[in-house]
Structure 1
Amino acid sequence: MRKYEVLRAVVILQAVCMVVLSVVVIIKVWPGNDRQLDGRPQTNVGSGEETTEPSKPGQTPITDPSQQSGGSRIIAKVGKEIITLADLEGELHSQYGDAVLRTLMVHKAIDLEAAASELSVPAEEQSRELDKMIEGYDSEEHFYEVMQEQLGMSKEQVLEDLRYRLLLEKIVVRSIPVSDEEVDRYITDHPEEFNEKMQLHLQWIITETMKEANSVMGLLSDGEDFAEMAHAYSIDSFTADTGGDLGLIEKDDPFYNREMMETASRLRVAEIAGPIKVDGGYAVIRLIERQMTTNMTGSRLRDTVRKQLALERADSVTKVENELLDKYDAVKTE
C-alpha cells in the first residue's frame, strides 16, 4: 500500500512540472505579446516604423527593435531593471527543465508500452478511481476547483494524468503473480478496509482557551454564521479562511481527536457542539452532512486487493520508468 501512495505522490509532482511547462508555452502565445510593457506596439525591422528612444541613466539602451523580438522581449520591469522572456525561460528551464522533459519522455514510453501490450483504461475503471480521489471533497466540482487552484490543473489535465497513472500501474503489476489464496487471506485478515464506513463532513473553530470557545458557542447560539466566526476567531490557519471546513472524515480517522469524532457522530445535521479539548486548543464543531461508504464485494473486491498486493511488491516507480525509457531507446538530443 505504501508504494501505491508513493505512486500517487510522484504523479502529482509530475503534474506540477507539466504546469511549469505550460507557463512557458502560455508566455509564448499569450495575446498581446506583440506590445511593449507600456502598451505601445512592437515595431519590426524593415517595416518603416522603427523608433529609437533615448535611454535613461542606468538603463541599457534598446536601439534596435529586433532586440525585443523572440526571447529578448521585455516582459517585466523592476525599477530600472528589465526582465526578458529569455530570462524567464532560462530560469524555468534550469529549475524544472530536466524534470518536465523526463515526464514527457515517460508518458511517451507508457503510450508505446500500452499499445504494444494492448493495455487500456476502461471508462468505468477510470470513473471508479476518480470517485476515490473525490472522496473528502464537497462535490466533484469542488475537487476540480481545488486541483485548479493548488496545482493549476484543468479537469482535462486531471483526467489525462489519472489515465497515465492507471496505465503505469497496469504495466507495473502485470508480471507480479498474486495467488487466490493470498487474496483470500488478506481479505480475511483486514475486514475493516472493506466494510461500510461512516464519513462526517465537519467544520470547526479552534480557540486557545475554553473561555474563548464558550464565547464562540454563545455567539453561534445567538445566530452568528459559523463560517464567518471561523474566519474571525479560529487559530487554525489551515481552515480559518475556508470557514473551518474539514471536508469528509471517517469516523475512526486516527488523525483526529477521538472524543471529537464520537461527539460529531451523534450530532444531527447543522447541529453544533463544544468546547472539546483537542491538540492545540479547544474545538467547536458543526456537522454539515453524514455519509456511508459502500463496501466492495465480489470480483471488484478481489481485483482491488490483487492489485494492491502486487503494487506493494513492485519495484520503485523510478526503476520501472527507467526500464521503459531504456526499452524504447529514450535519449536526450541536446
Structure 2
Amino acid sequence: MRKYEVLRAVVILQAVCMVVLTVVVIVKVWPGNERQLGSQPPANVGSEEDPADSAGVDASEQDDGRRIVARVGKDTITAAELQGELYKQYGEATLRSLMVRRVIDLEAEGSELSITADEQTRELARMVEGYESESRYYEVMLEQLGMSKEQVLEDLRYRLLMEKMIIRSVHITDEEVDRYIADHPEEFEARTQLHLQWIMTESLKEANSVLELLADGEEFALLARTYSVDAFTADAGGDLGLIDVDDPFYNAEILETASRLQIAEMAGPIKVDGGYAVIRLIERQTTTAMSGRKLHDAVRKQLALAQGDSLAELEDALLGKYDATKLE
C-alpha cells in the first residue's frame, strides 16, 4: 500500500475517533462533572434570568443541543455549537469513511472475499515486527493514534479486504518478481529505525535549562512546543518520526547517541546546525531480512498494488457501484 494512502486512512480513522470521543465527553463527562461538583449551569449570554432562579436546574435536563459544555467568562458554548463545528471540520471525511466501509462489506459479500485468521495473523506479525511485543504495539497505537486494539484489528481487516479487491485482476509473473528483487536488494535487508523526539535550542545554556526541566519531571512534548526553535516539529511535540540508524541526512552524532539509548531515555545537549538538541528515544524498530517464499509473496503483492487502482479509485468505484449517496 502506498504510504500516502496509509496516512490518509489513518487520518480518516482519527477523525472518526475524535467525533466519537467528543460525543462521549458531551454526554457523560460534562453533566457528570457538574453534578459531582454541585455547580450550576451558567446563564446564557444576554439572559436577564437571575442565576439563583436556575439553581436547581441540572445541565442533563436541558435539551441536548442547548446543553452547555464550556464557559468562557460570561459566554457559553453549547453541545450544538460543538457538534456543528466538528461536523464542519470532520463530517465529510467521517461520513465518507462510514460509507466506504459499508460498500466494502457489500463487495466482499458479493465477491465471496474474506480475510482468514491466518492472513490476519501474518499481516499483524509484520506490523508488530520491531516492537518489543504485540501488547507494546497496541500501546503505541493507542498513545500515538488513539486507536484501541479492536480498532486496529478492524482497520487491518478492511485494509486487507481492499488490497484483495485491488490485486484480484492484476497478474504479476515470477520473472517480474525476480527482476524487482535483483534490482532493489536494499529494500529487503534487515534494518533498524529509531523513533525520536527532539527539542532544538539556540544556545547551550537554553539546552541545559531544558534538561533541568526534564529532570524535574516536565513533559518532553510540552517543552518542545514551548521552547524548541525548530518550526517543523515544535507543534508536534518535537516528533521526528522513524529514522534509519544510518540515514545520511540526519546528524550523525544524534543517531549514534540515540542508538545507545533505552526506550524513553533522553540525552543532550548535542551540537547541531543552528543550535543544540536534546533528544528522547520513543521506539526502536528492527526488521529482519526477508527471503524465500515470504519474500516472493511480499514482492508480488507490492507490485500488484502498484499496478492496480489506488485506494481512492477503488473507493470511488465501489461507492458508485452500490449507489452510495449523501443525503442533504
TM-score by length of 2: 0.71
Match of 1:322 in 2: 316
The farther-off stretch of 92-101 and 27-36 is 27-36
Q: What is the letter of the counterpart of residue 196 of structure 1?
A: A
Match of 1:5 in 2: 3
Provide the rounded CA distance (Å) in 2 between the counterparts of 1:286 and 1:58.
Answer: 50
Provide the rounded CA distance (Å) in 1 between the counterparts of 2:199 and 2:89.
Answer: 39
Aligned 8 A contact 1:135 1:248 in 2: no
Provide the rounded CA distance (Å) in 2 between the counterparts of 1:196 and 1:67.
Answer: 60
- Superposed displacement of residue 115, structure 1: 1.9
Provide the rounded CA distance (Å) in 2 between the counterparts of 1:137 and 1:30.
Answer: 35
Provide the rounded CA distance (Å) in 1 between the counterparts of 2:21 and 2:181.
Answer: 46
Provide the rounded CA distance (Å) in 2 between the counterparts of 1:151 and 1:246.
Answer: 16
* 1:252-331 equivalent positions in 2, closer than 5 A: 252-258=246-252, 261=255, 278-281=272-275, 293-331=287-325
Q: What is the CA deviation profile of residues 219-270 of structure 1, one whole-angstrom value per residue up to 9, with x for unaligned ones?
A: 9xxxxx999899699968769x99x9989754333443356656877x7989
Q: Are residues 1:59 and 2:47 paired? A: yes
Aligned 8 A contact 2:202 2:229 in 1: no
Match of 1:49 in 2: none
Q: What is the letter of the counterpart of residue 157 of structure 2?
A: R
Distance change (3 Å), C-alpha of 1:67 and 1:61: farther
Aligned 8 A contact 2:71 2:77 in 1: yes
SS in 2 for 1:94: helix
Match of 1:45 in 2: none
The farther-off stretch of 78-87 and 62-71 is 62-71
Number of paired residues? 311
Provide the rounded CA distance (Å) in 1 between the counterparts of 2:251 and 2:80.
Answer: 52
Runs of 5+ unmatched residues, structure 2: none
Within the candidate set 84, 90, 95, 1:90 is matched to 84
Aligned 8 A contact 1:208 1:280 in 2: yes
Q: Are residues 1:180 and 2:178 paired? A: no
Provide the rounded CA distance (Å) in 1 between the counterparts of 2:94 and 2:280.
Answer: 43
**Max radius of gyration: which structure?**
1
Provide the rounded CA distance (Å) in 2 between the counterparts of 1:73 and 1:289.
Answer: 42
Q: What is the letter of the counterpart of residue 12 of structure 2?
A: Q
Runs of 5+ unmatched residues, structure 1: 43-52, 220-224
- Superposed displacement of residue 98, structure 1: 1.6
Distance change (3 Å), C-alpha of 1:255 and 1:124: farther
- Superposed displacement of residue 131, structure 1: 4.1
Match of 1:125 in 2: 119
Distance change (3 Å), C-alpha of 1:315 and 1:202: closer
Provide the rounded CA distance (Å) in 1 between the counterparts of 2:110 and 2:161.
Answer: 12
Provide the rounded CA distance (Å) in 2 between the counterparts of 1:288 and 1:18.
Answer: 26
Q: Are residues 1:154 and 2:142 paired? A: no
SS in 2 for 1:304: helix
Q: What is the letter of the counterpart of residue 63 of structure 2?
A: S
TM-score by length of 1: 0.70
- Superposed displacement of residue 155, structure 1: 1.7
Match of 1:100 in 2: 94
The share of aligned pairs that are identical, in percent, is: 53
Distance change (3 Å), C-alpha of 1:262 and 1:189: farther
Provide the rounded CA distance (Å) in 1 between the counterparts of 2:45 and 2:255.
Answer: 66
Distance change (3 Å), C-alpha of 1:236 and 1:118: farther
Distance change (3 Å), C-alpha of 1:80 and 1:60: farther
Q: What is the letter of the counterpart of residue 112 of structure 2?
A: E
Provide the rounded CA distance (Å) in 2 between the counterparts of 1:273 and 1:34.
Answer: 43
Q: What is the letter of the counterpart of residue 59 of structure 1?
A: S
- Superposed displacement of residue 86, structure 1: 1.5
Provide the rounded CA distance (Å) in 2 between the counterparts of 1:23 and 1:269.
Answer: 33
- Superposed displacement of residue 322, structure 1: 0.8
- Superposed displacement of residue 129, structure 1: 3.2
Q: What is the letter of the counterpart of residue 96 of structure 2?
A: R
Aligned 8 A contact 2:34 2:40 in 1: yes
Q: What is the letter of the counterpart of residue 47 of structure 2?
A: Q
Q: What is the letter of the counterpart of residue 331 of structure 1?
A: T
Q: What RMSD in Å do the two structures reach over aligned CA positions?
A: 4.9
Match of 2:72 in 1: 78
- Superposed displacement of residue 127, structure 1: 3.5
Match of 1:333 in 2: 327
Higher helix proportion = 2
